[in-house]
Amino acid sequence: MKNVKTVALGMCMLTVVSGFTFTSCSTKQGTGTLIGAGGGAALGSIIGAIAGHGKGAAIGAAIGGAVGAGAGTLIGRHMDKVAAQAAQVENAKVETVTDANGLKAVKVTFDNGILFKVGKSDLQAGAKTDLTKFSQVLKNNTDCQVDIQGYASSDGSDQLNLTLSQSRANAVKNYLTSICGVSASQIKNAVGYGETNLVTNADGTENREASRRVEVYLYASQAMVDAANAGTLK
């Protein structure tokens, strides 16, 4: 039996730290759902950078120069607005997380059961509708950079799952850029991680349905950081 790897952000839990409430996984399907809303840069300072996906992949490129506390707060408020927009997308699960720079970022998870048929990487018709709506969020927030991560359940071989998850990540990227008109330069990475970071149930067993997913991360670009440091970010 394969070892089950878990990721803290994928666990179903509610944590309250210094007055901030963080929730994950307790979402509703059908309409986009916003999970958790912290307080600007304080969220980043509390929970640190996003846990490495696969072998240490972190969300967010290195930022040139220091980010002041005031700038971090402005970025946090801006990303809250981005999260609220993403939460309007059908079948999107939205969370606020932190990037590698300790800044607030937005994580949007699309269940592969909605996007793809089992074992396939061709987008289903309903998925295209959802992604078309989601693309508008990206086009409305070009100061956000984007990473796309594909995952699979433990069913099948490691290599098959790695290849399948990469194909699914590519399918989402290609649809967003080629069909929806999102700038290819905005999407920095599209990577499949196979069956790493499996989602587990409360009893520690794998939640296979939830493990089959695509995660999209929106995080601050250098331009956003510069605007925040200048006090002009809205």
* Residue 2 within any structural domain of the chain: no
- Give 191-209 pLDDT, tens digit per residue: 999 998 898 999 999 998 8
> What predicted TM-score, i.e. pTM, was given to this entire model?
0.75
* Residue 19 within any structural domain of the chain: no
- Give 46-83 pLDDT, tens digit per residue: 233 333 333 336 787 666 666 777 898 999 999 999 99
Sign of CA dihedral 222, 38, 92, 197: positive
* Residue 12 within any structural domain of the chain: no
* Residue 211 within any structural domain of the chain: yes
CB 76 within 8 A of CB 42: yes
β-pair partners for 15? 22
N-terminal to C-terminal alpha carbon distance within the chain = 50
* Residue 134 within any structural domain of the chain: yes
Domain of residue 111: give its range: 29-230
* Residue 204 within any structural domain of the chain: yes
Instruction: Tell me the CATH number at 78.
Output: 3.30.1330.60
* Residue 21 within any structural domain of the chain: no
- CA separation (Å) from 2 to 89, 147, 151, 196? 35, 28, 16, 11
* Residue 128 within any structural domain of the chain: yes
Count how many domains the chain has: 1
